[in-house]
Amino acid sequence: MTIHSSVSDILLDKVAEWLTQAALTGENLETIVRGFCERMAATGMPLNRVHLTFSMLHPLYDALGFTWRRAGGLTIEGYRHVNEKPERFMESPYYYLLSNNLQHLRRRIEADGTVEFPIFEDLRREKVTDYMAFVQTFGAGSVQGMMGSWSTDGIGGFSEDMIGALMRMQNHLAMAAKMAVLGRLANNMLTTYLGGDAGKRVLNGQIRRGDGETIRAALVMGDMRQSTVYAEKEGRQAYIDTLNEFFDAIAAPFNRNGGEIMSFLGDGFLAVYPCGRHKDPSKVACEAALSAVFEAQRRMRALNVDRQSRNLSEVRYGIGLHVGNVMFGNVGLKDRLTFSAFGAAVNEVERLQSLTKKYSTEVVASQAFSSYTDCEWGKLGEEKLRGVRQRFTVVSPKAAAAANGALEIFQEEAADSLSEAEQVILLHRDAKKFEGRLQVENVTPQP
């Protein structure tokens, strides 16, 4: 490839205009990165490869990474939280920048001889001649930011004009990316703390106290038994670990197939399966909730087998099932709200769940719930629920779902096999706070 002595300032201005418009219209990060790289290549900038990483607040992932190649387009990587610094990252230009509190690093890539960083061996194979890495925060004290690199295979590498142009465009890209990251951050936080549907409602403007609606739903209330004993016996961190294992095992099935975890209440949770007011949609919701109950029971058996192998005590639980009308919306103080489901039916399912202690069974349902399922139920008794006028007929499944031949592993997300690529870390964090806590999944990105 021949060297270009300069790049058109007019075309670069057009790229900057496009970035501004993309930020104003709320384009997502992938669209911004892909569009930027393609447009920069169209200006005549001899880019062979671009790598960009953006730090994110997310319960599973710390960052998103994008690698663009002139011949191969864009690939995307996710960076998982881990507690160790992979060796490959420790030997990368990015770590060098962060460790020395530098913003830029440029290196010529020679065709032979020893290399300063292992990544340069990979770049040699791509015929790269010049490489520039950079770090850019999204504001003083911010842990969000952008880290990346530009590479060219042009003879002679980047000219001074090209370096100046890349540094100018880096600022425009950072501004557009910051808007996209903040939008993604808001969505991640609302989904994490409120749930998918509730998060969307809040993002769409349902934010005033009293905003909401009445819906019909199948309701699930789950609770861990003897949590106070666990907390006192095991200590704070061990108790938190036990609680998280419990929620991973029992609650996860209720967050799919039409269900959504509305809230975690101490050592318990409330899940809803919204449905129409007629028989058929009510049956679909109740069957889905019951199927999730059987799945949760299998996962809890697997959890307790695993805990037994670690010489840990069994985790016991109770689940209540009900169906009825609930109010779904914002309640609280004028300036401090929570988005949840509430009303008589929520109170009733909580009372039903507490009856699992009285009847020494894992699952108790109202007759109203059981009437919408094909499961065979056994009557437990007639109960006057606290705070409720009418008496309830309460039932329990006659037989728990049969266990599989081999108990499924409840930690399937954590037990997924990790590829060699997941030992690479490419996350921007400011130098003081950076702890190398990421693990890459999917494709091995290169610095």
Average pLDDT, the chain: 77
422 vs 201, residue with greater confidence: 201
Average pLDDT over residues 356-373: 94
CATH architecture of 200-415: 2-Layer Sandwich (3.30)
Is 214 a residue whose pLDDT tops 90? no
Give the per-residue pLDDT at 445: 40
Measure the CA angle with vertex 301, ends 300 and 303; round to 5°: 60
Least confident residue range of 93-107, 355-369, 387-401: 387-401
Give the per-residue pLDDT at 29: 84
The pLDDT confidence band at residue 121, using thresholds 50, 70 and 90, is very high
Kindly report, residue by residue over 155-178, the tens digit of the pLDDT. 989 999 999 999 999 989 988 888
CATH ID of 9-193+418-441, from 3.40.1390.10, 3.30.450.40, 3.10.180.10, 3.30.450.20? 3.30.450.40
Measured CA to CA, the distance from residue 158 to residue 161 in angstroms comes to 8
Using CA atoms of 218, 257, 267, 57 in order, give the dihedral in degrees to the nearest 10.
Answer: -130
The pLDDT confidence band at residue 441, using thresholds 50, 70 and 90, is very low
Our measurement of the distance from residue 364's CA atom to the centroid of its chain's CA atoms, rounded to an integer in Å, reads 32
Ramachandran area for residue 332 (φ above 0: left; ψ -120 to 50: alpha; else beta): left
Say if 9-193+418-441 and 200-415 have the same CATH topology: no
Measured CA to CA, the distance from residue 178 to residue 200 in angstroms comes to 21
CA distances 375 to 71, 322, 355, 361, Å, are 57, 15, 20, 16
Is 306 a residue whose pLDDT tops 90? yes
Domain boundaries, given as residue ranges, for the chain: 9-193+418-441, 200-415
Report percent pLDDT > 70 for the chain.
72
Is 188 a residue whose pLDDT tops 90? no
Fill in the amino acid letter for 3.
I
Report percent pLDDT > 90 for the chain.
39
